[in-house]
Amino acid sequence: MLHYRFLFRELIQARKQAAVFVLCVALSISTIVALNGFKNNVNRSILGDARTLQGGDILLHSHYEFTQALRQAVTDLEQTEAVRGVRAYEFYSVIRSTTGDRTLFTRLKAVESGYPLYGRVELQSGRPFDQVLRAGQVVVEQEVLDRLGLQIGDPVHIGSVVLTIVDVVTHEPDRPVEIFALGPRVFVSTQDLDRLQLIGKGSRVEYKILLKIDGDDATINALAARLALTAQPEQERVNTYRTANSGVKRFFDNLFFFLSLISIFTLFLAGIGMQTSLAALLREKEKTLAIIKAMGAPGSFLFRHYLALVLFLGLIGCLVGIAAGFIVEHLLPLLFAGLLPAGTALSFSVADSGEGLLIGALVVIFFTFLPLYNLRNIRPVAIFRNDTAATARGIFFYPVVLGGFSVLTILVVRQLQDLKTGLYFMAGTSALILCTSLLTRVILAVSRKIPITPLSLRQAHKSLFRPGNATRSIIVTLASALSVLLTIYLVQTNLSATYIESYPPDAPNLFFLDIQPDQKEAFTREIGSVVELFPVIRARLVTINGQPVKEQQGSKRRGDSLTREFNLTYRNTLLADEVIKNGNALFRKDATGSIPLQVSVLDTVAEMGDMHVNDTLEFNIQGVPLQAQVTSIRTRTKSRLYPFFYFVFPEEFLHDAPQTFFAAQHVNKDAIAGLENRIVTSFPNISFINMAETAAQLGGLTRRLTIVVNFFAGFSILAGILIIVGSIFATRLARIREAVYYKILGSGSRFVLSVFIYEHLFLGLFSSFLAVILAQAGSWGLCRYLFDIGYSPHWPVCLLLILLTAALVVGVGVLSSIDIIRQKPAIVLREQNGG
């Protein structure tokens, strides 16, 4: 039976601490609720509109012209079944204005009449796309007009012909999200495709056939299975709109996964906040609890009542958290502006709210267990003594903690939807908190040894060790949260510095693609200086030591897969930034291997497929099988924007394979436009990428994503602030006593205020100093060992973080202590003496 009046009175009396506890619970689930709701809405809009997003019911895809067998199978289907199909070709190409002074790298899409099968291509004029895009005409994105200085009706050079711009595309159904694209869209009709002369042997073209089926999913699956039997393995892919891997979905999956990690981290810190505020509250109430025990209340009375109180507050916290999560969810589209799939609708979901309640309940129970469990250790004799309750564990303690930890792990794994990462995350977070906790002990212990002369500073430092002060919890929480934020910043800044900003002045800034073998000499002459040409032969890896490579083989971190198409090359020497990691030389001089053909493998791809020297790899080069033995594993000495190849063959073996060439060239900034024009005019099939421009675009995207990540990570700082406020409330009486004693002994309010300011200054400085140490160590490790890039510590930013943290903590601390500073000594003394 519950003593409701007692519960109510306890709640009213401890309302400030209760508010902090409620906010901690709300904080712990709000980001998860927001993220899960947002994720589900985005996924619903992606999957719900998968047909539009993919452009058809069945999608056939190849990097080579479709085989005769598959083309025939599609034609048969179109004739015999209720099937309608359209062909599309996508590739990059440089276009130029007819005046010849400007060029632009674009994503060209040649489509048949009837495209799109689902959704609409929306045009600025509002006219139907099918009626606008005819032979000799072109529809472009606004960016094309802006950058080439053209208008609708102007002619434009594409490949070998001049076409007329007839409209501007404002929305394209199967490319709804502009995550990152190398160039704006240009639509041409397939009737012009041959005239363009842009598709040469070995050119990078995405061949697509999109099919619309008049039937249900079972029919679609059956037809797709039938086509898959005809498709050339490893070359032609047949997917339904449900199985096709959308780049958009992959992007959001990865982003949401990372944000989930941060949200769970916030949940952990807020959990520590819950535990700290409850423990501090119970510690302050120890005497009252001892009185109740002295009155004859059994241990279960206190446990039952405080559990009820905690669950009640937890429920309020969950409801507040769900409401806050819903608000945050509706703010997220602002952060994701332009990245979201069109028509993403945000709706309230009962399931998401239920999940939020469940997560909140589990978190509350797990993090409040310890303080509640310790209630049993409060002895009635504590009325007479000031010693704190002993922390005897009892036989149920460890099984319950272990069980709680397991439940929490399941929750984390479920949220991340990945067992291994979930376990790593739990281990990593526990290690971070443990490490921060140990370092906090060290810092506090060392600080005690340092003699402090000024009285107010000395008193402030001693206040850190006031019984009941949550000093360690505050430092651990703030330091952990800040270290994660700073690590994200440092890693992102170092990555940007390596790949985007610090583009070496002499590094190649123009990459030329699809140079045909017969264009080599003329191309070199046009460049006018020595050009490094890399042969490129496109192929798939089929087996490793006879074992077929699988889709899931690859590097999740790099977002790479062994089943994708690779660019092979041939040469007999190492590049300037390569060294041999395993093996004696790039290739064996004698033909002693079991297979005559040799291949050198880059260490990154070797790790993905667990490849070693002497392993046998089988490739498929445009339908031709090729076996090779690994003779060496190479590694790169620098991470930079410079061409590299996973698989390198000896020149003599692949010299005659179907190939194109790739060139990376440094061109003076002023000369780029002129060179681009000459290349487009002389070699319309050759595409080029301005890497400096691309890097700037990538930098912009990175900065936007960093804002999203920081927004989520910022919530973890709130957890630290709540713990500070909770700690001040919980030690209010002790602080009042101190303030009163200072005043009785003759100090003014200014001295009391300075003691409080210094106390929080210590907290802020210790936390941020620790955060900087952890973040520097972590970021250095990540850059050095994970990303393999150089590291710059960015000390001014660290200093700024320390100053901002100190200001924040002092501000929060002093604001929460104002009523304490104003206390009148006489009133406090009267209360203390029981008068």
Partner 1 sequence: MDRMTNIILEAHNLTKSYPVGDRTMAILDEVSLTIAAGQFVIIAGSSGSGKTTLLTLLSGLDRPSSGRVIMAGQDITDLSEDGLARLRNEQIGFVFQAFHLVPSLNALENVMFPAELKQDRLAGEKAAKLLQRVGLWERRQHFPEQLSGGEKQRVAICRALINSPKILFADEPTGNLDSKNSDAIIDLLAELHREHGTTLVLATHSSDIAERAQRIIRLCDGRLSSDEGM
- Rounded least distance, CB 1 to partner 1, Å: 7
Q: Which is nearer to partner 1, 384 or 465 (CB)?
A: 384
Residue with tokens 């010299």: 655
- Rounded least distance, CB 464 to partner 1, Å: 25
- Rounded least distance, CB 441 to partner 1, Å: 23
Q: Which is nearer to partner 1, 447 or 823 (CB)?
A: 823
Q: Which is nearer to partner 1, 378 or 513 (CB)?
A: 378
Q: Which is nearer to partner 1, 308 or 423 (CB)?
A: 308
Phi/psi at 123 (nearest 5 deg)? -115, 155
Count of residues in the chain = 835
Amino acid at 395: I
Q: Which is nearer to partner 1, 393 or 441 (CB)?
A: 393
Q: Which is nearer to partner 1, 11 or 145 (CB)?
A: 11
- Rounded least distance, CB 418 to partner 1, Å: 46
Q: Which is nearer to partner 1, 3 or 588 (CB)?
A: 3
* CA-wise closest residue to 196 among 91, 64, 121: 91
Q: Which is nearer to partner 1, 148 or 302 (CB)?
A: 302
* CA-wise closest residue to 106 among 199, 178, 200, 185: 185
Which phi-psi region, left, alpha or beta, contains residue 622 (left: φ > 0; alpha: ψ -120 to 50)? left
Quote the tokens at residue 279: 């423990």
- Rounded least distance, CB 306 to partner 1, Å: 13
Q: Which is nearer to partner 1, 8 or 405 (CB)?
A: 8
Measure the CA–CA gap between 782 and 769, rounded to whole angstroms.
20
- Rounded least distance, CB 298 to partner 1, Å: 4
For every residue of 4-57, DSSP letters joined together read: HHHHHHHHHHTHHHHHHHHHHHHHHHHHHHHHHHHHHHHHHHHHHTHHHHHTSS
Task: Please state whether the peptide bond connecting residue 298 to the residue before it is cis, i.e. omega within 30 degrees of 0.
Answer: no
Cα dihedral 498, 504, 510, 516 sign: negative
DSSP 8-state secondary structure symbol assigned to residue 151:
-
Measure the CA–CA gap between 634 and 611, rounded to whole angstroms.
12
Measure the CA–CA gap between 190 and 172, rounded to whole angstroms.
17
Residue with tokens 């800040």: 482
Measure the CA–CA gap between 273 and 367, rounded to whole angstroms.
9
- Rounded least distance, CB 468 to partner 1, Å: 17
Q: Which is nearer to partner 1, 152 or 291 (CB)?
A: 291
Instruction: Give the binding site for partner 1 (CB under 8 A).
Output: 1, 3, 5-6, 9-10, 12-14, 287-288, 291-301, 376, 379-381, 383-384, 831, 833-835
Phi/psi at 346 (nearest 5 deg)? -95, 125
* CA-wise closest residue to 198 among 131, 106, 121: 106
Measure the CA–CA gap between 135 and 133, rounded to whole angstroms.
7
Quote the tokens at residue 664: 């990376």
The two most distant CA atoms of the chain are separated, in Å, by 104
800: enclosing H helix or E strand: helix 795-821
- Rounded least distance, CB 463 to partner 1, Å: 24
- Rounded least distance, CB 297 to partner 1, Å: 5
* 3-state percent helix, strand, coil for the chain, nearest multiple of 5: 55, 15, 30
Q: Which is nearer to partner 1, 79 or 833 (CB)?
A: 833
Measure the CA–CA gap between 762 and 459, rounded to whole angstroms.
12
Measure the CA–CA gap between 288 and 765, rounded to whole angstroms.
35
Q: Which is nearer to partner 1, 300 or 547 (CB)?
A: 300
- Rounded least distance, CB 305 to partner 1, Å: 11
- Rounded least distance, CB 356 to partner 1, Å: 31
SS (H, E, C) 608-673: HCCCCCCCEEEEEECCEEEEEEEEEEEEECCCCCCCCCCEEECHHHHCCCCCEEEEEECCCHHHHH
Q: Which is nearer to partner 1, 381 or 585 (CB)?
A: 381
For every residue of 215-250, DSSP letters joined together read: S-HHHHHHHHHHHHHHSPTTTEEEEETTTS--HHHH
- Rounded least distance, CB 740 to partner 1, Å: 16
- Rounded least distance, CB 819 to partner 1, Å: 15
Q: Which is nearer to partner 1, 297 or 782 (CB)?
A: 297
CB atoms within 10 A of CB 406: 10
- Residues with Cβ within 8 Å of 749's Cβ and at least 6 positions away in sequence, in order, are 743, 821, 822
- Rounded least distance, CB 309 to partner 1, Å: 11
- Residues with Cβ within 8 Å of 365's Cβ and at least 6 positions away in sequence, in order, are 314, 404
* CA-wise closest residue to 617 among 543, 539, 537: 543
Q: Which is nearer to partner 1, 289 or 484 (CB)?
A: 289
- Rounded least distance, CB 818 to partner 1, Å: 21
Q: Which is nearer to partner 1, 7 or 413 (CB)?
A: 7
Q: Which is nearer to partner 1, 174 or 284 (CB)?
A: 284
Question: How far from 41 is each of 252, 341, 345, CA to CA, in Å?
Answer: 12, 10, 7
- Rounded least distance, CB 317 to partner 1, Å: 21
Residue 355 burial (10 A CB sphere; 0-12, 13-18, 19+): buried
- Rounded least distance, CB 13 to partner 1, Å: 4
Q: Which is nearer to partner 1, 297 or 595 (CB)?
A: 297
- Rounded least distance, CB 302 to partner 1, Å: 10
Amino acid at 752: V
